[in-house]
Amino acid sequence: MQEMLRLNGYHPFRPAAWIRVTGEDAHSFLQSQFSNDLNGMEVGQVVYGLWLNHKGKVHGDSFVLRVGEDEFRLMSYATPGQVIEDKLGAFIVADDVELVQETEQVAAISFLFDGDADWFEAFAEKGDSGGRIKGVDGDLFIFPGRRHRGEGFDVVGKRASIQGFLHQLGQGRFNGYQLGEEDLEAVRILHRIPAIPKDIGSGELPQEGRLEDGAVSFSKGCYLGQEVMSRLHSMGQVKRHLVRVKADRELPYGATIRSGSKKVGLVKSGINFRDHYLALALISRSVGADVGLQVDTEGAQGRGEKGTEAQRH
């Protein structure tokens, strides 16, 4: 794993969701379900957002790509396609909307740029950070990604096309630029980007994962969960937020975090990084940054033991 904050390279992956949405009512239907605003969205644009339930809790996330007047694609890194399809399908009543699950037919590549001018310039013509989709060889979609806080884009297409693209990347000057899964997880956690629904899911609100900026519209009309979002926006902060914690040993996913005898949070995704274990954690806002934390590990729960020490990072 590259032990640095700056990552430049590409990572092949399989999207958890790739769904084709078509029909005369496709736009209005997605607008009524999606947390972000799709009005004014032109063909060739992409918007990131969430799929909420009626209580405003996070059911999943995706990019919405508009590829035609009445045709869209939904792509998610971590929310399973069947989860999104089942959720949306439950709300289709008399709408002229068709959902087609195409997740198993595609593959993808994420490109990350952070500080390497040569790498960025070499591939600048292949992506566009302005929200537009470009077709390559007729069946690849290219759009801005969300792997880290720097520049980047994703390429999604049929498996054979992606395999051909990967073969090209592995030749010559780009040999050695491929990033592993651990690289992507490290930069995601370092940048506090939650995997959905693993880190922020059906028990959490978008604001607890710092997702309100860029993934939630507070000005669009009615959509599922909108009433809760508006109320939170006008009334103030949520009680928990996603932070990073560091420990000297692995922290189990879902383990309880305590301050003294008081339960104050839960461990989420984590990874070994630079001789430490670095994890995302959902912690009460009442806990100060300098307060000592203990994590319940096997053998410590319910026995009054101290557990593993952790600190905000």
Please write the tens of the pLDDT for every residue from 154-169: 999 999 888 888 887 7
261 lies in which domain range?
Answer: 239-312
Tell me whether residue 229 is in a domain.
no
**Residue 136 scores a pLDDT above 50:** no
Interval 241-249 mean pLDDT: 94
Domains identified in the chain, total number: 2
Distances (CA, A) of 305 to 261, 281, 294, 296, 297: 10, 21, 10, 8, 10
The last residue of one of the domains, among 151, 170, 188, is 188
Predicted structure pTM score = 0.89
Tens of pLDDT, residue by residue over 44-72, are 899 999 999 999 999 999 999 999 999 99
pLDDT at residue 133, rounded to an integer: 47
Residue 247 and residue 143 share a domain: no
pLDDT at residue 263, rounded to an integer: 94
Residue 122 or residue 276, greater confidence: 276
pLDDT at residue 291, rounded to an integer: 87
pLDDT at residue 303, rounded to an integer: 43
Residue 174 and residue 64 share a domain: yes
- Nearest C-alpha neighbor of 17 from the set 82, 89, 68: 82
pLDDT at residue 117, rounded to an integer: 57
Stretch among 8-17, 128-137, 266-275 having the lowest mean pLDDT? 128-137
Tell me whether residue 196 is in a domain.
no
Distances (CA, A) of 276 to 2, 250, 272, 297: 14, 8, 6, 16
**Pair 15, 76: CB distance under 8 Å:** yes
Amino acid residing at 238: V
**Residue 146 scores a pLDDT above 80:** yes
Interval 205-230 mean pLDDT: 92
Q: How far apart are CA 135 and CA 71, in angstroms?
A: 15
**Pair 15, 108: CB distance under 8 Å:** yes
Residue 283 and residue 136 share a domain: no
Distances (CA, A) of 250 to 197, 225, 266: 21, 36, 14
pLDDT at residue 149, rounded to an integer: 82
Query: pLDDT band at 25, cuts 50/70/90?
Result: very high
CA atoms within 13 A on the CB side of 208: 24
**Residue 302 scores a pLDDT above 60:** no
Tell me whether residue 62 is in a domain.
yes
Residue 284 and residue 148 share a domain: no
Question: Token digits for 180?
Answer: 């592993």
Tens of pLDDT, residue by residue over 66-119, are 999 999 999 999 999 999 999 999 999 999 999 999 999 999 999 888 766 555
Task: Please state, for a pLDDT cut of 70, what percent of the chain lies above it.
Answer: 86
pLDDT at residue 83, rounded to an integer: 97
- Nearest C-alpha neighbor of 214 from the set 57, 49, 65: 49
Residue 84 and residue 25 share a domain: yes
Instruction: Indicate the DSSP class of residue 206.
Output: G
Residue 298 or residue 299, greater confidence: 298
The last residue of one of the domains, among 188, 208, 230, is 188
Peptide bond into 206 cis (omega under 30): no
Query: pLDDT band at 3, cuts 50/70/90?
Result: very low
For 30-62, the three-class secondary structure string (H helix, E strand, C coil) is HHHHECCCCCCCCCCEEEEEEEECCCCCEEEEE
Instruction: Indicate the DSSP class of residue 260.
Output: T
